[in-house]
Structure 1
């Protein structure tokens, strides 16, 4: 097990690397959150590209450092673009981050998430507790894109998915849980207002793509993601009377994030 000091030091080093390299992150994402996630990537230091067009994606994947696939919008052309993009990402060895949005709500979402895990073997799977449980075949309690399950309830499902597909799993919640093989980390922070801002879960997935582009260890990339979301969320909440201003201050927190703040606010237990 790493000490908290070692983990925090690596988180900061990965933030620096991300800002230095500014990797291009290709996003096929929910149309509701496209602007939010693109701005978050820019604020942290990455470069976003947002597309779902099958003819457009192979060339973009060649230029990109990672691919983010978010199942929020499942129109036929989106699904086609996802398959084309993930096939090309696998061919080129680009890491894939998969977000099984609302898995468990219906058969389409659940089976598509399982298909993508089986065929394309993503680097990181990020979701809430109900989504992770549904993908693993357990009876989660989804509420649309929200969850009625706790992170700890989804731990066994996450371990099963890690073993079956070789990915790291990031379960977002009041305490985030990262699982990969025999390694686990729990991270706390953020704000109770964060679930009241549309797409912050999707933002986490996008940032996971940014860290996946610069950190070859999927477990560490997922830990980086949860830590940055929590620290930025806590900073934003200090200045925000409500969720509208939280969204604005969250982007500012990503942009101004410095080493002292990471050391002060990062709460990770491995």
Structure 2
């Protein structure tokens, strides 16, 4: 797999996939800039009257429930249904799963539509799978990602989705593989929305790459390695954001393979 990952990154840069994001307004700017930096094109559209049209012209759909309300809920369901009808990849980011009954009711509707990929932190994945009562703390994880594999397997089995667990070690779980990525930097947790940006990158990669497992791994390795290299130049979270966008844009093949930490 390792030899294919860089080719996937180059493919995204070359094809410039169009990614439709129904995402939370805390991270829209960050998400759009991250997509542009890797060579993709973002659409941020939430109106019920146009989301189906936007899905039709896009390569992939990203749904992030961070600032969901009743209006956005309807738009999300319309868009996810359209993605399924159009056989487009769509990615679910279950931000704050388990934090409130309303949020969980929205997620129950969305997950029943069988997202291509689910990406969340450990607590969110556990809450989504209802595997145990591990509490969530807002959008922050209170569980270790390596404790969440069984919950992820349950989601894979029940919804035929790939699951990506973000954490100190990122874990990608499919029907027949479990892949561990040990890239990234602790300072990345001090910047809001980097997990949301990772979800958007997954959308870009799955939109144009047939092997969805490799697409998810390529996206997560790219943002993890970019974060590591950005942290080397940064004095704090503010400058990390700046350097991360730059490194998503100008990461080289040599840097990628020198830092990739992948275990199957």
Matched, 1:189 2:183: yes
Partner of 1:233: 227
**CA shift digits 1:113-132 (9 cap, x unpaired):** 222111x2111000000000
**CA shift digits 1:15-73 (9 cap, x unpaired):** 11101110100000010000000000000010000011111211111110000000111
Aligned-partner SS, 1:72? coil
Matches within 5 A, 1:139-218: 139-218=133-212
1:255 to partner: Cα distance: 0.2
TM-score normalised by the chain length of structure 1: 0.95
2:120 to 115, 127, 132: 127
1:10 to partner: Cα distance: 1.2
Partner of 2:87: 93
CA distance in 2, matches of 1:28, 1:67: 8
1:83 to partner: Cα distance: 1.1
Q: Bigger CA drift: 154-163 or 133-142?
A: 133-142
Aligned-partner SS, 2:156? helix
5+ residue gaps, structure 2, are none
Matches within 5 A, 1:234-253: 234-253=228-247
Q: Is the 8 A contact 1:171 1:177 kept in 2?
A: yes
Moved over 2 A (4+): none
**CA shift digits 1:216-245 (9 cap, x unpaired):** 222112211220111000010010010000
TM-score normalised by the chain length of structure 2: 0.98
Count of aligned residue pairs for this structure pair: 263
